[in-house]
């Protein structure tokens, strides 16, 4: 095992519970290989998920993909960051590309697409994407996550359908 792997595993093991240890391990790993896509991805996640610094996070994800367009670990986190940052067009383009990459978890990408549609209030389209996610899912544990997103979207549909209070049916005469 390479030294960088040791530090990368330490960082992954520490994240998100011990951010100080995560960053320390990432810094060591980065000093061994500044082009390691896993390291760059985890830096991006820290920026997005912990510091809410989406622009810096995007930069880390972009660096990782510039190094290796097939860095499968980057796509779900990058997509989530784009959605949170309301970069919807960019997210859609990335989804369209990501779904074509051999070996990528297509179910996860379809869930991200559903979430993108959800935040745009396109609930019925989002449910269609979740159906595709279910079809492409090959992990039992992941099915639970899909179901949770589906439940949330359906509850939003119900909220939007709530009937408005009926107006008095008697016509007022003057």
Contact 109, 80 (CB under 8 A): no
Where do we find the tokens 């745009």?
120
Q: Output the pLDDT for position 114.
A: 98
In Å, how far from its chain's centre is CA 40?
16
Angle, CA of 100, 102 and 103, to the nearest 5°: 125
pLDDT at 168 over 60: no
Q: What is the pLDDT of residues 141-161, one digit of tens each?
A: 788 899 999 999 999 999 988
Considering the chain, what is the average pLDDT of its residues? Answer: 93
| C-alpha to C-alpha distance for 173 and 134, rounded to whole angstroms | 57
| pTM strictly above 0.75 | yes
Report how far apart, in Å, the C-alpha atoms of 14 and of each of 40, 53, 60, 163, 165 are: 16, 20, 19, 48, 52
Q: Can you give the residue ranges of every domain in the chain?
A: 1-75
Question: How far apart are alpha carbons 141 and 107 in whole angstroms?
Answer: 12
Compare 169 and 158 and report the one with higher pLDDT: 158
Q: Which helix (H) or strand (E) holds 166?
A: none
Average pLDDT over residues 22-35: 96
pLDDT at 78 over 90: yes
The length of the chain is 174
Contact present, 50 and 25 (Cβ < 8 Å):
no
Structure tokens at 120: 């745009």
pLDDT bin (cut points 50, 70, 90) of residue 167 is: low
CB 118 within 8 A of CB 148: no
Judge whether residue 162 has pLDDT over 90. Answer: no
% of the chain residues with pLDDT over 90:
84
Residues 7, 32: contact at Cβ < 8 Å?
yes
Q: What is the pLDDT of residues 82-141, one digit of tens each?
A: 999 999 999 999 999 999 999 999 999 999 999 999 999 999 999 999 999 999 999 887
**48 neighbors 54 (Cβ within 8 angstroms):** yes
**pLDDT top residue among 12 and 141:** 12
pLDDT value at residue 3: 84
What is the structure's pLDDT at 130? 97
Q: Say what the pLDDT of residue 165 is.
A: 57
Pick the CATH number of 1-75 from 1.25.40.10, 1.10.8.10, 3.30.460.20, 1.10.10.10: 1.25.40.10
């Amino acid at each position: 095992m390479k030294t960088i792997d040791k530090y990368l595993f330490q960082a992954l093991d520490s994240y998100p519970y011990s951010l100080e240890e995560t960053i320390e391990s990432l810094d060591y790993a980065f000093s061994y290989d500044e082009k390691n896509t896993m390291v760059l991805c985890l830096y991006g996640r820290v920026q997005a998920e912990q510091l809410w610094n989406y622009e810096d996070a995007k930069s880390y994800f972009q660096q990782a993909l510039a190094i290796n367009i097939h860095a499968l670990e980057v796509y779900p986190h990058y997509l989530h960051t784009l959605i949170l940052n309301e970069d919807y067009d960019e997210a859609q383009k990335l989804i369209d590309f990501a779904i074509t990459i051999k070996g990528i978890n297509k179910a996860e990408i379809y869930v991200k697409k559903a979430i993108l549609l959800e935040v745009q209030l396109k609930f019925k389209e989002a449910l269609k994407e979740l159906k595709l996610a279910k079809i492409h899912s090959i992990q039992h544990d992941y099915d639970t996550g899909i179901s949770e997103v589906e439940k949330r979207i359906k509850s939003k549909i119900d909220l939007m359908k709530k009937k408005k209070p009926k107006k008095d049916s008697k016509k007022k005469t003057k």
